[in-house]
Each structure stands twice: as C-alpha cells, then as structure tokens.
Chain A
Amino acid sequence: MSGAAACLNQYATKMIVKSDLLGSLDIEETDIFHFPTGLFGFPDTRDFVLLPVESSGLYWLQSIEHSALAFLLVDPFIYFTGYSVDIGSGDLKELDARESSAVAILSIVTLPRNRDEKPTANLQGPVAFNFKARRARQLAIQHSGFDVRCPFELAPIES
C-alpha cells in the first residue's frame, strides 16, 4: 500500500451537526445511526448521532436533519431488572442484525415536568441499535407487560 493511501485511510469523514440543545457537535460519519423508518411520530427522520452523557447510562439521540429534534435515552437494563426485549423477524431484518452481541437497546426518556415526579422510560417502545451495521429502529412491543412511562430514579454520576 502506498504512503498516500495509508494516510487517507486514517481520516474518517468528519462533519458538524447543529444541535439546538447541545450546540455544535463535531462528529464522524461513523458515529451516525441510520433509521430506515424514522421514529414513531417522526417517520421521515433518518439519521441520528448517539452521544453518551458521561457514564450515567444516559445518551442523547440527536437528529442530523433537524437541529431541534433530540431525545434523551437511557440504558433500561441499568434501572429495570428483568427487562428483556424480543426482537421479531421483521424488525431484525430491518436492523440487518445477525447476533444479539451487536444490538443495544435504549429507551426514550420523558423528563418530569414537576419537581416531585420522576423521569420515565418508554419500555414498550425501545430503540434497538445495531452497532455493526450502524442501523437502528424503534420497536413497538405488543403484550410486553411494560408501559410507555415507567418511572425510575437516576443514579448520580460518580465524580
């Protein structure tokens, strides 16, 4: 391999994503997840970047196309024991996922409007991320016994 080609391979394509909540984000194209059918209620949105909030188990899902569209996500397995998600064949196909070791599940958080309320996680509509294929999809699990608004208590970040 020539020296020039080796240099080129080191640089992933960078881009700037404008976020109304988080400001200007420098990301690499490889940070992007593609949602072939968007999210429920937002079917035309396609590309999002996933960013962790320190080590809290919280993440931001920021739309690349709409600066105002951002969701807060939480790792449900940290806060809900016994939670499991069965991904059906149709969803698996859309996710292009072959092994469970490549799929992460995150839940959309609704923040409390009042001081005395807790944030809630949507366990009925988890978002599945295929880290290998960089594809993602929101699932609507039927008969799951889980609610769209499950309260939880955020654990403080270790300083």
Chain B
Amino acid sequence: MRITNSIIQQSSLNNIQGNLKKIHEAQERVSSGKRLLRASDDPVGASETMRVRGSLRALDQYRRGIQTATSHASIEEHALDQVSGILIRARELATMYASDHVDASGRKMGLIEVEGLLEQAIGVGNTRSDGRYLFGGLDSAGQPYAVDNSGADMDFTSTSPSGHNFVDISDNQRLVTGHNGTEVFEDTGLLASLRDLATALRNGGSSDVRGVMGRLDSAFEGIQSLLGEVGGRANLLNVTSANLDALEVNFLTLKSDIEEVDIEKSMTELVGRQTSFQAALLATSQVMNLTLANYLR
C-alpha cells in the first residue's frame, strides 16, 4: 500500500476537531506561567524528578550503544560488500575455466587468481575495528582466520568464532551488534567454496570446476541475505536514535520545569541554553523572540 498524501485533515475521519479545545486549554495553563509539576508540594513530583534525571542518563547510555552498533553495522556492511565482489569474480573465473576448451596451463593462471581471492576473503574475515576483530564473535581479541599452506592445496584455518555481542538500545531492547565469522565465512560456504575452486583448478578438470559453481552461487546468496539483515539493523538503529533525540528535547524541558524556582530564573537559564521548545511552552516568545512559540500557542 502506498500513501502519498494526507488524509488526516478530513474531520469526518475522526473526532479530532473535538480535541482542539483540550489542547487549547492545556496550553493556556502553561502560558499562564504555572509549573506543570511542583516538586515541593507534590510528593509524586519529587520521584518524577528522579525518574526524569535517571531517564536522561539512560538516554545517553542508549545513544552510545546505538552509536557503537551503527558503526559496527557500517563496517560489517563494507566487509560483506567486499566478499560479494570476491564471489562474483570467483564465479566469473569458474565459468571461464569450466569450459572444456581450457587446458592445464590455462587453469593454472586461474588458480593463481583464485588463491588470491581466497587470501583476500580470509583478510576480510580478520577485519579489525578499534583493535578488535569484527567477526570474532565473543572473542574479539583472537584472529579468527588464517591461510594454511601446509598441504599441497591452499586451505584456511578457523577458530570457529561463535556467539554475539549486544548493546542496550532501550529499557527492554538489546540488539545484536553483528554476525560472527562462522555465520559469514563458513555457514555460507564462502571460504570452503573458494578453497575448493582453487583445488579443482590445481588438480582437476573442467567438470571439477563446474562442481563448485553451485556452491559459489549459494555462498553469494547467503551473503546477500546477511547484507539484508545488516541493512535492516542499521535502519532500526537510525530510527530508534531519532526517537530518542526527539524525546530528549521533551525531557530537557521537563527537567527544567520540575527543578525551576520561578519563571524569571528559568527564563535566564533558557536564554543561556537557547532551547526554543522550552520557550514555547513557557510562552516567553517576547523575551527570546523565537519563532516556534508563535506556532505552538
């Protein structure tokens, strides 16, 4: 379903017109200078102050968590793009060398390039950020992948990175910060298919090469699927962060309200902080000459 215009202005839709009066009354009360909450004579108000202060600290913490997860997602997205490119090239080479018209020396050239691709992919598996291995799972200190040249055919070693790290993005929401190496490089068959393509080029014939093509394809699909997950995560983080920002302005307003001694003092504070929203609520437009107050009478 695509929405391209407003329907909300239609009063037939809703008793929204009836609510106009309620908002007007509420704002009148605010404009008259009365505090919304009186911490001194309202026992509930005092605990409200504590809760609001606590909430502001929590918002900062969540914001930091969101920043960490966002940066992590961006780095992972770049890494997944890199291995996508590697797989595309590997697939091209496989197609080329699957042909019966290529001889052993031709396949040898392909081998050199494919081994290079395998090394590159291993390198991506060892991506680091802030000194930590991005794909290390719970063990971010240990390098997860390495080239293994001990045998006749190039292979790779893996520490089998497992587990996930989380950040708290709200009171009840933890978000995983990224996929681990096993999910990206092994469960998709990414490293194994590159290794097997190299082996087929070294030792086998065109049919052996053809045998790996399907696995390169499914590795590529697996990576695209992970990319989709990362994109979705980045999206969620972005929107959550924007919600927190939007709310923080409201909280900052409340904080000033609960703790204020009198209107004059808070107006002086406001001039210093230049928060137009607070000014709008306290109807100080004539002092601060801020345009928003005109629109939120």
Pair A113/B275 contact, Cβ less than 8 Å = yes
B250 interface residue per 8 A CB criterion? yes
**Neighbour of A40 across the interface among B1, B240, B249, CB < 8 A:** B240
> What residue of chain B has the Cβ atom nearest to residue A12's Cβ?
B15
* Distance between Cα atoms of A151 and B36 in the complex (Å): 29
A38 to chain B, nearest CB (A): 9
Selected from B30, B173, B235, the residue in CB contact (under 8 A) with A43 is: B173
Q: Which residues of chain A have C-beta atoms less than 8 A from B294's C-beta?
A: 156-157
Q: Which residues of B contact A110 (CB under 8 A)?
A: 242, 245-246, 249
Chain A residues, Cβ within 8 Å of B23: 22, 51-54, 60
Which residue of chain B lies nearest to A119 when distances are taken between CB atoms in the complex? Answer: B292
Interface residue from A23, A51, A72, A97 paired with B36 (Cβ < 8 Å): A23
Q: Verify B251–A68 contact, CB threshold 8 A.
A: yes
Q: Chain B: which residue is nearest A60 at the CB level?
A: B23
B15 touches A97 (CB 8 A): no
Contacts A21-B254, A52-B16, A108-B246 given; indicate if A43 touches B172 (C-beta within 8 A): yes
Interface size on B, as a range, is: 35 or more
Complex-state Cα separation, A156 to B253, whole angstroms: 22
Q: Give Cα A70–Cα B276 distance, bound, in whole angstroms.
A: 17
**Bound state CA distance, A129 and B277, in angstroms?**
26
Within 8 Å of chain A (Cβ to Cβ): is B266?
Answer: no
Question: Does any Cβ of A come within 8 Å of B50's Cβ?
Answer: no
B191: shortest Cβ distance to chain A, in Å?
A: 29
CB distance from A3 to the nearest CB of B (A): 25
Of A41, A53, A77, which one neighbours B243 at CB under 8 angstroms? A41
Chain B residues 44-71 with CB under 8 Å of chain A are 48, 51-52, 55, 62
B19 touches A77 (CB 8 A): no
A15 nearest CB across to chain B (Å)? 12
A128-B2 Cα distance, complex, nearest whole Å: 11
- Asked whether any CB of chain A lies closer than 8 Å to the CB of B99, the reply is no
A21 and B281 contacting across the interface, CB-CB below 8 Å: yes
Chain B residues whose C-beta falls within 8 Å of the C-beta of A40 in the assembled complex: 236, 239-240, 243
Whether A43 contacts B239 in the complex (CB less than 8 A), given A20-B254, A54-B20, A68-B251, comes out as no
B13 at interface, CB cutoff 8 A: yes
Chain A residues with Cβ below 8 Å from B22 are 25-27, 51
Interface residue ranges, B against A (CB under 8 Å):
1-9, 13-16, 19-20, 22-27, 29-30, 36-37, 48, 51-52, 55, 62, 169-173, 231-232, 235-236, 238-247, 249-251, 253-254, 274-277, 281, 288, 290-292, 294-297
A-B contact pairs, 22 of them (CB 8 A): A22-B26, A24-B26, A25-B22, A40-B243, A41-B62, A42-B171, A43-B172, A50-B16, A51-B22, A53-B296, A68-B51, A68-B251, A72-B250, A77-B4, A78-B6, A84-B3, A86-B1, A110-B242, A125-B242, A143-B231, A148-B238, A156-B295
- Which A-B residue pairs are the 8 nearest by beta carbons? A125-B239, A148-B242, A22-B26, A104-B8, A41-B240, A111-B277, A40-B240, A23-B26
Residues of chain A whose beta carbon lies under 8 Å from any beta carbon of chain B: 19-28, 30-31, 39-44, 50-54, 56, 58-60, 68-72, 75, 77-78, 83-87, 92, 97, 100-106, 108-115, 119, 122, 124-125, 128-129, 131, 138, 140-143, 148-149, 154-157
